A and B are shown apart, each in its own frame.
Chain A
Amino acid sequence: MSKLEEQKLPDKLPDSLLEREFEIEELKSRPEDTIVSQELTINIGPHHPSTHGVFRAIMDMDGEIITRIEPVIGHLHRCFEKIAENRSYAQFMPFTDRMDYTSAMLNGWAYAMAVEKLAGIQVPERAEYLRVIAGELNRAISHLMTYTFSGLEAGAVTPFFWWFEERDKLLDLFEEIAGARMTFNYARIGGVSGDAPDGWFDRVRDFIKTLRSNLDEYYKLLFGNYIFKKRMKGIGVISAEEAIRLGITGPCLRASGVNYDVRKADPYSIYPRFDFEVPISYKGDNYDRMYMRFLELQQSLRIVEQALDQIPDGPIMAEGVPRLVCPPPGEVYAHVESSRGALGYYIVSDGSPKPYRVKIQAPSFGNLQAFTSMVVNNYFADVIMIFGTFDPCFGEVDR
């Protein structure tokens, strides 16, 4: 028997309904122009097209304004840190791709850097240059994806379809060098897995040329558009002190005026050889956070061009790296600047081939926490736009 059939209207109204009746009676007695509103609890479920992944938020809303938000994360939690304790160092490499899956080359790079620092392995030059080229291209493409999605959320559907062609071309290029389109598994402990095939560098140069010729169009169609500007400027303002207090890193921090980029503050790998700038803005609103990414894309292309000119010949993998890397007991921390912020790995080893503890410091985790702290008292439509500018990737948040 279904539950509906069991229900019958009671003979006597229960107390809550009586209260309700009393409220309505009281309301009727008031003057006509008072409006009494009630807060509505809405659930933006884990499956939602605008949430960039699986994210659940329970919001209390007063009309269109959010008064309280309670995020629920952990739907994509695969506990990589526990998996890492049962695998050897080289076996854990494919899992690093699955965290920040939109810019996967940078994750593998961070992990490989941490293990190499711990074990004292020296990476050859050509491998470093290949890592830089792949990483910076990946950052450029990740930023491209972010602002097309942001346009999609604002209602501009066309950029997403037009500009994803560039991303597709780049994923084809990555397919030639790494073997897959999203989970590259390209970095290895001691180098990279494969050298560039013939003509790959020329194809990368062609790709950069077409991308640069389209930059003008990107600006005119999206960033210069009146509606986009109206929807983004002046909304979601975070001041510099507030940003530091909330623990944001990455382009969002730089849009608020704090000059912190890991590539310049704590240089790693061969970044000191390249000549690039770190764009900073001081207003800290939505538009600036998005525009930072556009400017960073141009800087990334600049770095890639310099790297293509400077790349030397040589081996791509360090000699003498055993299959079971047994680093001496100790701890290490290494961080890189990924497209979302500072991504770090903290590894504790006890001398055995398996790590004792791998802690992954994901930038989206801190950014999402900041987002949920400052979103109160905004319109709901604006909240979705702010969410897009913080650009969390839930593979990283939940690990």
Chain B
Amino acid sequence: MAGQISNFIDGWKSMFVGLGITIKRRRMSKATYFYPYEKPTLPDRWRGAPMLKGVMGDGSTGTEKFPNVLGEFNATIESRKKEGKLPQCVYSCPAHVDARGYVELIAEGRFKESLDLIRERCTLPAAIGRVCTRPCEEGCRRNYFDEPISVRDLKRFAADTCMNMSHPDPIPKTKDKKIAIIGGGPAGLTAAQDLAKQGYYVTVYDKNPQGGGTLLTGIPKYRLPKNVLKWDVDAVCALGVDLKTNVEVGKDIPLIKLIDSYDAVLIATGLPAGYTLGIEGEDAEGVWPCLELLKQMNFDNHPKIGKKVAVVGGGNVAMDGARTSLRLGAEEVHLVYRRGRAEMPARYEEIHESEEEGIIFELLTNPTRVIVKGGKVAGLECVKMGLGEPDASGRRRPEPIPGSEFILDVDTVIPAIGQKMDLSFLEGIDIKLSDRGAIIYDKLTLQTSNPKVFTAGEVVTGAGAAIQAIASGHEAAESLDRFLRGVDLKEGRTPQVMPKLYNYPRVPVEWIEPERRRAHMKAIPLEKRLKGFTEVELGFTEEEAVREANRCLVCDNENCSGCAMCARTCPMHSIEVERTGPQETERKVLKYNVDLTKCLFCGQCAEVCPTKALVMSKDYENSEYSKEKLFYDIERVLRRDSAKIEL
């Protein structure tokens, strides 16, 4: 009975509570809308059917090129980056050479135009095409899919193909100002080219018999033949630059005379000297500083080195020294480096080729003493190192392991541990130097304490790649141009856009289809390499180059290039793409089908598209595809045909 009463009360209580809630709800405002008449705004990420914004080959004019317009180039690059229209290869290059543009021109068969486009921002294409550290390939978006485009080798191909053509015509001098450039290396020649194009009188002073700077003296002939470099420098001089060789400023002409007689002076002397090891016995006979060795070799004075050589250092210069010694007749070459393999700053392929040629790597070793007998080198005492905590540059600091000394049996020691500048010509000049002896300059305008004197290149930025010196030379040219016109140096000037280094992992090569792999650069066989100083890498043929250039995905220009990366990412295999092959000069996308009956609308294809042409259209119903926008007919979809489109 008590149970029945409590049930009765419970029942009525529930009913009244429910009634109260109903009344409360009736008084609340309704939060609905009438679909589809009052559709709310769709969020940005709403997916729909995929849609192409544009297609290559339907009458479009090709990608946007970035020529070097003095004063506006940096602003253009920055604005394109903000809009998302700057490809990653251009962004990764310190000089922002238009890699996408010239690769596209090579793919279309227009080699001379491609070389002209390269020469806008990269002054010495044939040389850079052989020695560059190629950050563009590290930033190439194709790294994410399989292997990057060989941008550097295509630059070399463009330069080699046009080597028989005539040089450009000289540019008439329209302005009345004269500029002196000290140092004929990459930075100096770049500034000279830019200023000569504006119509100034430019004179370049260089102390070597040829132009080129460190490219001439520091890079051996098997990597960069000297006639190739001469062709490059002649092309710059043909524009109207006066190159005075064998003139050392400070000895032959005092600097003060240049500052007085010219309207502006640019110091771009680079880093000609090398650091000394600072160990006992370094002044013995048989210790060759590496840069000196390479310079002698490049001027054909075959230096006499012994049979067993130890090269100290781990950078590109040390690799060059080691391989040069092999070719000069050494039997055993040891490379002594104080850190480990992963911390070596040299390029990957240099290390690989050095190993192939048989150089013995003594890693985690540091020399302590040169053993001298009768004034000549008889051995090198070294100690093993262990890696400790990382230092300021991020690399782990080596510490000697006590008691692990040993002696390397060598008769030549070649130190190559760093480069430093030679500013002896600045004695007595009123230009402020820092405590360490470096020139104090303004980072934006590259001007020193003397308003008529500017600096550029490695002498101020420190050791780096040649392409960084070229970028510095462009900045200096803009500064000089503004100075000589009387315009303020800083106003309205966009600073140089810093490149970004991308971090792509390597895709294992065995999972890539053979026809999608990168072109393999042929090299002369190993036995023939050590017999002389002929160039090791042979270059592309025309067919290989066009095929390689066709692999480019033509990023960020909103026109589908038929790369079919979307088809490889689709979980349901619902996309079919076809385009013209590499042997046809007119590049077109022949077929692009999306089978809407299989598509899951997952959006992975649009995420992966490198050109940003494939987007999700935020439209599930009434999707239409037409030639401009790739429309589907809904009735065709319902009839379960795949929507085909004739292009």
Contact = CB atoms under 8 A, between A and B. Distances in A.
A322 B22 CA distance: 56
B345 to A, nearest CB: 21
Contacts of A93: 571, 602, 604
A197 B14 contact: no
Contacts of A87: 571
A340 B47 CA distance: 28
Contacts of A319: 503
Interface residues of A, number: 37
B600 interface: yes
A210 to B, nearest CB: 10
Contacts of A183: 600-602
A320 interface: yes
Contact of B45 (A90, A176, A227): A176
Contacts of A260: none
Given A179-B45, A320-B503, A352 B511 contact: yes
B14 A227 contact: yes
Given A91-B571, A94-B571, A226-B13, A322 B45 contact: no
For B503, B508, B608, the residue with the greatest tally of chain A CB atoms inside 10 Å of its CB is B508
Contacts of B607: 193
B43 A197 contact: yes
Nearest to B616: A179
A185 B10 contact: no
Contacts of A162: 25
Given A179-B616, A319-B503, A165 B608 contact: no
B569 A91 contact: yes
A193 B31 CA distance: 30
B43 A176 contact: yes
B85 to A, nearest CB: 21
Interface in A275-329: 319-324, 326
A94 B507 contact: no
Contacts of A220: 17-18, 21
Contact of B144 (A158, A177, A217, A323): A323
B36 interface: no
Nearest to B32: A165
Contacts of A194: 45
B176 to A, nearest CB: 54
Interface string A199-242: 00000000000000000010011001111000000000000000
A379 B466 CA distance: 86
A348 interface: no
B509 to A, nearest CB: 11
Contacts of B508: 326
A137 B351 CA distance: 53
A175 B31 contact: no
Contacts of A352: 511
A385 interface: no
Given A177-B45, A221-B18, A185 B13 contact: no
A226 B14 contact: yes
A322 B571 contact: no
Contact of B145 (A177, A180, A226, A323): A323
A74 interface: no
A320 B532 CA distance: 41
A90 B21 CA distance: 48
B37 interface: no
B365 to A, nearest CB: 31
Given A183-B600, A319-B503, A322-B505, A226 B7 contact: yes
Contacts of A224: 14, 17
Interface in B98-132: none
Contacts of B600: 94, 183
A213 to B, nearest CB: 12
A320 B21 contact: no
Contacts of B503: 319-320
Interface in B1-47: 7, 10-11, 13-14, 17-18, 21-22, 25, 31-32, 43-47
Contacts of A226: 7, 10-11, 13-14
Interface of A: 87, 90-95, 158, 162, 165, 175-180, 183, 185, 193-194, 197, 217, 220-221, 224-227, 319-324, 326, 352-353
Interface of B: 7, 10-11, 13-14, 17-18, 21-22, 25, 31-32, 43-47, 144-145, 503-508, 511, 569-571, 600-604, 607-608, 616
Instruction: Rank and list the top 9 A-B pairs by shortest CB-CB distance, nearest first.
Output: A94-B602, A179-B45, A226-B14, A176-B43, A226-B10, A179-B47, A320-B505, A91-B571, A225-B14
Given A87-B571, A226-B10, A322-B144, 20 more contacts: A91-B571, A93-B571, A165-B31, A165-B32, A175-B43, A179-B45, A179-B603, A180-B47, A180-B601, A183-B601, A183-B602, A217-B21, A220-B18, A221-B17, A224-B14, A225-B18, A320-B503, A322-B505, A324-B511, A352-B511
